[in-house]
Amino acid sequence: MSGAAGGAEAAGGPVRVVLADDQALVRMGLRVLIEEEDGLEVAGEAADGREAVDLARRVRPDVLLMDVRMPEVDGIRALKEIASDPELSGTRVVVLTTFELDEYVFEALRAGAAGFLIKDSPPEELLRAIRLAAEGGSLLSPSVTRRVISAFTSSAPAGGGPRPDLGGLTEREREVLALVGEGLSNGEIAERLFVSPATARTHVSRTMVKLHARDRAQLVVIAYRSGLVR
């Protein structure tokens, strides 16, 4: 597999997915859903975070679907290990959570998750999240983005670390960053700013490059930490 995100599809191969959840029934349901989809395949399963990290290092999947609450090593600790391992830079982690107000969601984004989904999301949304993650993008459920992150930041203690440096951004890019932080899609940003979707996408991409953000999920975190969104 290529080290770059989306390497499997670029090479014409299937997107390889690892499933990490402590419930065998959940893993079975995910496996059936994924393996019935053209261009996707399950590369392995793990029942806890430790197994997930070890398996990721062995099979180097394109995408890892990670449950938050697992025994031994939870999903957040496993995510941090994967995100900090240069050898796994091509593996994108999508966090799965049972509750919309899971207090771990913001920490997952900050740790490097490509996005997160509620477990009872429609099958097509889950499949879309896998493909987006493999392509280097992210999928954030809008209701989760707005509610969970807002709840986290409103209750977080002041001065919880230095604010990100936005000095390299143009005024328009700061505006775009704030809109991303609100959970708006590129299309919604285009409508708000009266620009084309392509222009909005370009602004988002340039903002990601300037802020060294891995993906859109990290832009959301930066927007809140910088105070652009309250």
- Identify whether the C-beta of residue 34 lies closer than 8 Å to the C-beta of residue 61: no
What's the CA gap between 18 and 42, in Å, rounded? 6
Sheet containing 63-67: which strands, arranged edge to edge? 40-46, 15-20, 63-67, 92-97, 115-118
Per-residue pLDDT of the chain (230 residues; tens, 9 = 90+): 333 334 454 456 899 999 999 999 999 999 999 999 999 999 999 999 999 999 999 999 999 999 988 888 888 899 999 988 999 988 999 988 876 555 666 777 777 888 778 888 889 988 988 988 888 766 665 555 555 555 555 655 444 556 788 999 999 999 999 998 887 888 889 999 999 989 998 999 999 999 988 777 778 878 888 888 76
Which pTM was predicted?
0.69
Q: DSSP character for 3? A: S
Contact 113, 134 (CB under 8 A): no
